[in-house]
Amino acid sequence: MEQVQSTYKEGYNYGIGVSSATGSPMGLGVTGAPTMVRDAPGGGGSFQFTRIMNSQDLETHLGISADASGGIGLFSASDRFSFAKDCKVQSSSIALLLYCTGEFGFEQIDDPTLSPGAAALVASGQQAQFQEKYGDCFVRGIATGGQFFGVVRIDISSESARTNVENSLSGSYGTFSGDVTVKLTDAMTKTNSSAKTYVWYEGGDVKTIVDTPEKLFTATTEWLNSLSANRKPYSVTLAPYIIANGPQPPNQADLQHQHDVLAHCAVLRSKTFDKRNLIDYMSDPQHAGDFDAVPNGPNLADLLAKFDQDLDIISQAASFAINNPKDALEPEEYARQKKGLANYTLTLVPANLPKLKGGESVVLPDFRPLTNESDAENLAKSKRVGIHWVSAGQTGQAWRILSQDPPPGTPANPGSTVTLVTTIQAIRFVTGAWMLKATGPLRAGVVTQAVKH
């Protein structure tokens, strides 16, 4: 692994070892005096205002997505994850994020050295014992100050109301200014929309009870003004043991397969939460009247049960990966091999969901000409649909999309899922084992390791 930024957890301190799979603090893996980074005392900060389209967007801003956290502790208990889950982001509502980071200092160990106990285990070849006691990385640096996150989820009653709210807020994203409050309040009043407000902060203090968007905007100033007197650790830099002075530590590549599976499990979990949140929202008596039923549409209660099963399978697959790094399995393969569910696949959102009143079907674009996963995800986000990725085809090819289901031009409801089948990229050689590599996360059902070891 490379050096990564991660969120602070109780028990973290300079030199403390960390298990990247769980994020748990371990024994003192390295020693060395932390020093203040020159010209980095920090102080203050400005609030940023942005639109978030799904749970993964929110998790990225919170620093707990696979990309933002470097894959550290994706399935460990986290207040930030609980906050993201409570916000219940889904495609039928409009979600807005107001966030700020105030840094008042950063210190790191410039010249880390393996602690005597860690060095003794490495020198004697006890790699398994080393990882059990010290993990696979250590806390090199700590940032102090605080972070503030406020989410406003606007629940709209029709597509025309969505358009009015979106048009009212266009041009408001970026550095937060007072006119956003006026624009948002006016748009919600005109469209008779309701809103739920959620707040999470570390450092600082907020005494206002935040139950409306207006109070959220008041709380932001209150938090920023109190941060200097109430700073706390909120972010850490985690580094691999290979950079520390002393005997060479365990081979980090041995844990790469586990890391890949856990990262993909985290992405699948976020997407499944979004799917479940959407169906739960449609089923809620408070909002059910905002949707027009579609003939021969799906049973929403059955969909909820299937998404609950998917979340359980994803969690179990992640737990298995944590306990069995070399034998880690993607969720679908885990269900087939370990749970006896021979034909199990993750649940897709059907195209014939109930429609928000006044809404029109989305005409699915043609994803096949796209040459990378990021562009496909961005196109799907703009159309308010999801993607189910499947890797197939021959190795040794450039990455491309082989097929799309439903096909381009098909009418579909916002929130539904498109299945894209891609090629697998060329074979590479890593630490004595031939590995197949995809440009994105490895998919269920794909052979990831050849016979040569």
User: What would the pLDDT profile of 287-325 be if each residue is shown by its tens digit?
Assistant: 999 998 888 889 999 999 999 999 999 999 999 999 998
Q: Is the dihedral of CA 439, 440, 441, 446 positive or negative?
A: negative
Q: Angle between the 179-191 and 159-169 helix axes, to the nearest 10 degrees? A: 170
> Of the candidates 89, 87, 86, 80, which has an alpha carbon nearest to the alpha carbon of residue 53?
89
Would you give the DSSP letter of residue 255? Answer: G
| Banded pLDDT at 43 (limits 50, 70, 90) | low
Q: Is the dihedral of CA 12, 17, 23, 24 positive or negative?
A: negative
| Banded pLDDT at 167 (limits 50, 70, 90) | confident
> 52, 103 in Cβ contact below 8 A?
no
Only one residue has tokens 């491309």, namely: 400
Spatial CB neighbours of 344, under 8 Å, sequence gap ≥ 6: 313, 332, 335, 336
The stretch 435-442 carries a mean pLDDT of 38
Q: Computed over its alpha carbons, how large is the radius of gyration of the chain?
A: 24
Q: Which of 177-181, 203-207, 246-250, 434-438 has the lowest mean pLDDT?
A: 434-438
* Report field, pTM of the whole predicted structure over 0.85: no
pLDDT tens for each residue of 59-83: 999 999 988 888 899 998 889 999 9
Confidence check: pLDDT of 440 > 70: no
**What pLDDT does residue 254 have?**
62
| Banded pLDDT at 393 (limits 50, 70, 90) | low
The stretch 377-392 carries a mean pLDDT of 87
Q: What does the alpha-carbon distance between residue 450 and residue 427 come to, in Å, rounded to a whole number?
A: 9
CA atoms within a 13 Å half-sphere pointing along the CA-CB vector of 372: 4
The stretch 367-392 carries a mean pLDDT of 89
Confidence check: pLDDT of 398 > 90: no
Confidence check: pLDDT of 9 > 70: yes
Strand runs labelled E in 304-415: 355-356, 362-363, 386-391, 401-405, 411-412
Confidence check: pLDDT of 118 > 90: yes
Confidence check: pLDDT of 156 > 80: yes
Given 3-state DSSP classes, what are the helix, strand and coil percentages for the chain, each rounded to the nearest 5? 35, 25, 40
Q: Provide the pairing of β-strand 30-31 with 25-28.
A: unpaired
Q: What does the alpha-carbon distance between residue 148 and residue 83 come to, in Å, rounded to a whole number?
A: 12
Q: Domain spans of the chain? A: 4-243, 252-437
And the tokens for 352?
Answer: 């014939």
